[in-house]
Structure 1
Amino acid sequence: MLQPLIDDDGAPFWEYARAGELRVQACTDCDRLRFPPRPCCPHCQSFGSQWRLVSGRGRVWSYVVPHPPLLPDYAAQAPYNVILVELAEDPRIRLVGNLVTAPDAPLGSLDPARIRIGSAVKAVFHDGIPRWLAV
């Protein structure tokens, strides 16, 4: 399985994910959420930030079902879905992941015909990686 490329700005996101928490960077000056993580707030240009625990709930904003040819580590798992989730706390915050039938289920565990734009989902974690379950 491919692992995320972790940079300094995003490292806390992955540390929290390994602990089973979905946290998003928030500005300590204007209080707005921001993702992907970065040193400066795109709304007020402040450098102050904290990692805010969010509910892990959201809606499917978009999705795709990749088919081979793919990267070798993913080809054996295809076809599988990749969804873009807008968070309940702020629909402008969107995270990429996979919609699965259980936290430890294979990537292709959900029939792609069941995916609907706007469907409610919640975050779950497997091996420190956020995934999504339908609710």
Structure 2
Amino acid sequence: MSGPVRPVVNRDNAYFFEGTANRELRIQKCNQCGVLRHPPGPACPDCGAFDRGYVVSAGEGTVFSYLVHHAPQVPGKELPLVIALLDLDEGVRMVAEMTGPVEIGDRAVVGWNVIDDDLTLPIWTKVDR
């Protein structure tokens, strides 16, 4: 099996992957009105400004929903694979790969999956209460 499917890095999301390389979970922020958004995009959905920045997330959130992927095989991944929709504490939602079993409402914390020298991806783990 080959390595994982690599994300397409472009000018709208390069800051995100530069952050993951430094073990930072970055969320796009409009420098005009302050709105946070994920996934990133070229213009603010609220005010339309193209002045973008980012904030560094605390890397914690709550499982809003999830699915367990059993098939088909995903390159570079071991099945079953847990994919969750997380409500980050900063107020945005993020699609996230998680380790282990989860339930809706579980708290999660980000960790880092170092693929190689050029790619590090966030991977989330349930926080035991």
TM over 0.5: yes
Structure richer in strand, relative to its length: 2
TM-score, normalization by structure 1: 0.81
What residue in structure 1 maps to residue 88 of structure 2?
A: 87
- 1:53 and 2:45 correspond: no
Aligned partner of 2:94: which letter?
L
SS at match of 2:16: helix
Unaligned stretches of 5+ residues in structure 2: 115-119
Cα distance between partner residues in 2 of 1:71 and 1:132 = 18
1:99 alignment partner in structure 2? 98
Partner residue in 2 for 1:124: 111
TM-score for both structures, normalised by structure 2:
0.85
Mark the runs of 5 or more structure 1 residues left unpaired by the alignment: 101-109
Whichever structure has more helix as a proportion of its residues is 1
Aligned length, in residue pairs: 119
Calculate percent identity across the aligned residue pairs: 34
1:35 aligns with 2:27: no
User: What pairs up with 1:63-74 in 2 under 5 angstroms?
Assistant: 63-74=66-77
Report the Cα distance in structure 2 between the residues aligned to 1:28 and 1:13, rounded to whole angstroms: 16
